[in-house]
Amino acid sequence: MRNAWRNVLGAVFVLVLALAVVIRPSAHQGFTAQVGQSVGNIAVVSASGQSVALSRLLDHHAALINFWATWCPACRMELPNLTAAVTPSSRLLLVSQGSAGSTSAFLGRYHIPSRLSWYDPDGHVFNAFFVTTLPTSYFVNRNGIIVSKIVGPMTPALLRQNLAAAEQNQED
């Protein structure tokens, strides 16, 4: 009987732990990362440790916000296409949970400027954007409104199509 209760309590503990991992509360009150919502109040961290709001980084440009990791094969495959697709009227923001030093060195091997790289050391931004699969990309219009979301790697055509839609969308 004692072992049965121990097994039941163990199962309940595992279930609660699993739910805590799956149902992660957003660190940004009221933000749900849905199409039509503004990303303005969400902040990422620069390589120097400075917190910067996404609205400031967008600077009235359409943008691709790409969540990625150096260890992710699909992310590595997609990186050259991301930088090639960006136009003068758009921005690319690469958001990683890796360290600034290792991420900058990694991007250097791909000839990608480290100024495009932003960090989420505590995972709050990943949680706020419901990132569970890498890469995950959000396309945002010049007003900071989410226009579309793509989970997984993108073909160059899909990337260009979504970025063009973000550039053309003027919704507030």
Would you place residue 40 in the very low, low, confident or very high pLDDT band (cuts 50, 70, 90)?
Answer: confident
pLDDT for 16 beyond 50: no
Tell which wins on pLDDT, 12 or 101: 101
pLDDT value of position 167: 94
Tell which wins on pLDDT, 26 or 95: 95
**Averaged over 165-172, what is the pLDDT?**
86
Give the C-alpha separation, 54 to 73, whole Å.
26
**Partners of residue 92 on adjacent β-strands:** 64
CATH class of 29-168: alpha beta
Would you place residue 2 in the very low, low, confident or very high pLDDT band (cuts 50, 70, 90)?
Answer: low
Domain ranges for the chain, please list them. 29-168
**Contacts (Cβ under 8 Å, ≥6 apart) of 31:** 37, 39, 41, 42, 128
Q: Tell whether pTM > 0.85.
A: no
Best CA proximity match to 85, nearest among 65, 64, 66, 70: 64
pLDDT value of position 158: 96
HSE-CB for 106 with a 13 A CA cutoff: 20
Tens digit of pLDDT for each residue in 50-67?
999 998 999 999 999 999
- 70, 106 contact by CB (below 8 A): yes
Give the C-alpha separation, 27 to 125, whole Å.
8
Would you place residue 21 in the very low, low, confident or very high pLDDT band (cuts 50, 70, 90)?
Answer: very low
Would you place residue 30 in the very low, low, confident or very high pLDDT band (cuts 50, 70, 90)?
Answer: low
- 134, 69 contact by CB (below 8 A): yes
Tens digit of pLDDT for each residue in 70-116?
999 999 999 999 999 998 999 999 999 988 888 989 999 989 998 89
**Averaged over 131-137, what is the pLDDT?**
96
